Structures are given as C-alpha cells and as structure tokens.
Amino acid sequence: MDFDLTEEQRLLSETVSRFVADRYDFHSRLKAMAEERGYSRAIWGQMADLGLLGLPFAEDDGGFGGGGVETLLVMEALGRGLVVEPYAGAILLAGGALRLAGSPAQKAARMEGIIAGQYLMALAHSEPDGPRHTVDQLRTRAIADDKGWRLTGAKTAVIAGDSADELIVSAATPGGVTLFLVDPQADGVVVQGRSGYDGCRVADLRLDGVWAPANAVLGGVGSGSATLTRLFEEVTAALVAEAVGIMTDALNTTVDYLKTRSQFGVAIGSFQALQHRAVDMMMQVELARSMAILAALSMDMPAEERRLNIAAAKAKVGQAARFVGQQAVQLHGAIGLTLEYKIGHAFKRLTAIDALLGDADHHLDVIAEAGGLPAIG
C-alpha cells in the first residue's frame, strides 16, 4: 500500500527522521535507559522543541492538530531509532485520555506543561491478574463520599508511572468505568518503579483509599469505557507504526551484517539460503508497512470498520514482528542476544509491542468474532 503525503506531512517526516538520525544513536538509548527515569530529559526537551509533544493535541489547546498519518510518521521514525523516551505512554496514552475526555479547565491546567515537556502524565489501567485486553472489567474500585471519591485497587505496568507528575487511573464506579486524575504523592498511593521487559521504565501502583476530589473525574462518571476504547484504537495504530520502524532498522542492520560477516573466506551474505531469508524479512516488513498505513487511515472511518482494520493491522504486524525479530537474531548469531548490540533490544521491543493492547491472537479473535473483515470498495 502506498499513499501521497502532503507537503506538511513530508516535512514532518523529514524533520523527525533527521532528529533520530543525528541525535539518537544506539549509545543514546543505552545512556537514557541508565538514567533514573529510564529516559533522557534532554532528549525529551528536544522533542518538545521540535513540536513533537504537541503534535496530537488540538490547536485550541496549543498543539498542532495532528491525526493518524502524522502519528504514523512520528512513531515509525522513533521506532527506527529504538527511542526509549515515553512518547507513546505519556503523550499518546495519558495525553490522549486528557485530549479526549478532559474538560476545558483540566486541559488548560496541564496542556502547556505537557507540550513543553515539563509535565508528565501516565495512564494506569492494566491490573495484575486481571482480565486482559478489556476496558471495563476492573477490580480497582472508586466509592463516592460527600466530598469526592475513594479509590482502592492495584495497577501494573504503568508506562513512566514512577516519573509522572500526575496519574490517570481507571476505576469501576456504579455508573461504569470512570477515569480519575490522581496525585502520585497523595496519601494511600504506593508507586514502585521497575524496568520492563523491553527496557522501558514502568511502575506498579497500589491504591489504598486514595481520595480524589469531585473535579478529578476526567470526563463524566461512567464515560471511561468509551474514552478508553477510542484511545486504545489510536494507540494501537501508533504502536503498529513503531513496530514497522523497528523492523525496518532491524532488516537494514541484518543486511549490513550479512555483507560484512565472513565465514569460509567469503561474506555470509553471498550464501543463497541467507539471501532468501533476508528477502522473506523484507516482504514481511513491507506487508506490515501497508497494514500500518491502513490503521492510520482508519482513524476517520466508521467505528466498526476502524475497529476491524486496526485489529487486522495489529494481528499482521504482530506476526511479522515475531518473524523479523527471530530472523534478525538468528542471522546475527550470538551477538544478536547481547545487551551491547541493538538487535536484541529491537526484538524485545517488538515482543512488547505485540503484547501491548492485545497480541496477534487476540486481534485475530476480534476479527473472527465479527465474521471477518469488511469488504473493500
């Protein structure tokens, strides 16, 4: 699948690609991962200066009003660089929840800081031992009192949760799922940070009767399921684009390695069997790229068509990511598994992306339960 970019989109793509190429090599990733926050504040500030942190937000809120295609371009470029800064988690997930459900007052109090890279939010939704890939089956509860709400429960794998200035927590209420703005320093909140499987920083949360005022509700009471459904579709499309960027770089790195690694006095890339495997990798990358474009273009489609197209994209890209990652590691040999070499990092991130917001099997089930994909044309 191919499509034409507008002049503004082309300039955006060139700007982000140049930023990643010039300022974010693999050493930058390792250095950022070693920092206490798990990412570089300096790089985050540079991303703010480029306008990337404001890209998905409305112009009325100080952003640039970017849509699915613009997010695709940014995420694919960040994927090529294996950028560890929490763009998807802080800007697209948490920031997206604020964008979709926040009141004018809630946005006014936070958007300027978010876009400037000076205020970080994190979305806490997944729960330990809870049902997977659902927006409304929650064990975390919020009980109303005379002055607000009391939240009790646990959350897991909150992206950038231990460096967030504010949390957005989903909880079950009598009217349905509700999103709450929560101060991570509030009484009853316990935040425990850790490194995720892919090297990105995450946190586990415990909430013990945490008080939230009435104006901490994000959107209306019981509106959380609708917000999260739309939000997760947007972020799934973004993760698909990131995976395509990672696979593209993994393919290029592997081909370069095949050209330079010698065995029996010749480059191993001269062996026909390995050439065929590299071609198979390329085919999977291009198929995944087409599905990423479909997902991005689906943002403006009717709800059911959008839902199924995104499910198809996540399923196909998950399958392609596993294949490309496995081939890249195997063609590199032992070096592909070392922490000092980026192929292993790429495979881990691809594996994490497959698991986030539903793996390939889950999304195939979504399509099957709907009776298949919508007809084209």
**Does residue 264 surpass a pLDDT of 90?**
no
pLDDT surpassing 90 at residue 374: no
Query: Does 263 lie in the same domain as 249?
Result: yes
Decide: 39 and 86 in contact? Cβ < 8 Å: yes
Whether this prediction's pTM lies above 0.75 is answered by yes
pLDDT beyond 60 at 2: no
Note whether 212 and 243 are same-domain residues: no
Lowest-confidence pick of 7-11, 161-165, 260-264? 260-264
One DSSP character per residue, 111-148 reads HHHHHTTS--EEEE---TTSPSS-SS----EEEE-SSE
Q: What is the pLDDT of residues 147-178, one digit of tens each?
A: 899 999 999 999 999 999 999 999 999 999 99
Q: Give yes or no for a contact between 147 and 187, defined as CB atoms under 8 angstroms apart.
A: no
Residue 250: per-residue pLDDT: 97
Same domain, residue pair 211 and 293: no
Element (H, E) at 173: strand 166-173
Q: In the predicted model, is pLDDT for residue 253 greater than 80?
A: yes
Distance CA 360, CA 365 (A): 9
Over pLDDT 70: what percentage of the chain?
98
- Cα 5 from chain centroid (whole Å): 23
> Does residue 45 fall inside a structural domain?
yes
Same domain, 246 and 347: yes
Q: Are residues 232 and 326 in the same domain?
A: yes
151, 204: one domain: yes
> Does a structural domain hold residue 377?
no
- Total domains in the fold of the chain: 3
Indicate whether 202 and 244 sit together in one domain. no
How far apart are alpha carbons 122 and 136 in whole angstroms?
Answer: 19
Q: Which domain holds residue 145?
A: 122-219
Last residue of a domain, one of 93, 120, 147: 120
Q: 143 and 92: one domain?
A: no
Q: Is residue 207 part of a domain?
A: yes
Q: Is the pLDDT of residue 377 over 60?
A: no
User: CA 166 → CA 43, 58, 163, 186, distances in Å?
Assistant: 21, 21, 9, 10
In this predicted structure, what is the pLDDT of residue 214? 95
15, 100: one domain: yes
Is residue 375, in this structure, part of any structural domain at all? no
* Mean pLDDT value of segment 93-118: 98
Would you state the structure tokens that stand for residue 145, as one six-digit string? 């009192």
CATH number of domain containing 131: 2.40.110.10
| DSSP per-residue codes, 243-307 | HHHHHHHHHHHHHHHHHH-EETTEEGGGSHHHHHHHHHHHHHHHHHHHHHHHHHHGGGS-HHHHH
SS3 49: helix
| Mean pLDDT value across residues 218-225 | 96
User: Is the predicted pLDDT of residue 1 greater than 70, yes or no?
Assistant: no
The average pLDDT across 224-228 equals 97
User: For residue 115, what pLDDT band results from cuts at 50, 70 and 90?
Assistant: very high
Amino acid at 234: E
**How large a percentage of the chain has pLDDT more than 90?**
87
Residue 173 sits in the same domain as residue 97: no
- CATH code, domain carrying 324: 1.20.140.10
Q: Are residues 205 and 320 located together in one domain of the fold?
A: no
- Per-residue pLDDT reduced to its tens digit, 300-339: 999 999 999 999 999 999 999 999 999 999 999 888 888 8
Does 213 share its domain with 280? no
